[in-house]
């Protein structure tokens, strides 16, 4: 099937192929969702470490100087 025939068939059946911008938007939404789930998993694990009683020095190593883990 040539490209022209395929496009005509898709047009007749009202099937739209998303453009670059729409695909990029979908990809961006997917990455944001995956990132938020990963962050939630890390924060849960970090909460378990804190509940286990990490020392202040280890907390700095895990969370860095900007976040001491108290904002979870």
Number of domains in the chain: 1
The answer to whether residue 47 is domain-embedded is yes
The answer to whether residue 67 is domain-embedded is yes
Which structural domain range is residue 32 located in?
19-72
The answer to whether residue 1 is domain-embedded is no
* Terminal C-alpha separation, the chain: 56
pLDDT confidence tier of residue 65, bands split at 50, 70 and 90? low
Q: What element of type H or E holds 49?
A: helix 20-51
pLDDT for residue 24: 94
The answer to whether residue 9 is domain-embedded is no
Whether the model clears a pTM of 0.75, i.e. scores above it, the answer is no
The answer to whether residue 64 is domain-embedded is yes
Average pLDDT over residues 29-58: 80
* Residue of 51, 52, 50, 53 lying closest to 67 (CA atoms): 50
Higher pLDDT, 45 or 60: 45
């Amino acid at each position: 099937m040539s490209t022209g025939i395929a496009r005509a068939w898709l047009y007749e059946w009202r099937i739209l192929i998303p453009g670059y911008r729409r695909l990029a938007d979908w990809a961006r939404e997917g990455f944001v969702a995956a990132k938020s789930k990963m962050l939630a998993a890390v924060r849960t694990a970090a909460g378990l470490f804190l509940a286990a009683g990490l020392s202040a020095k280890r907390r700095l190593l895990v969370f860095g100087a900007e976040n001491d883990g108290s904002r979870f």
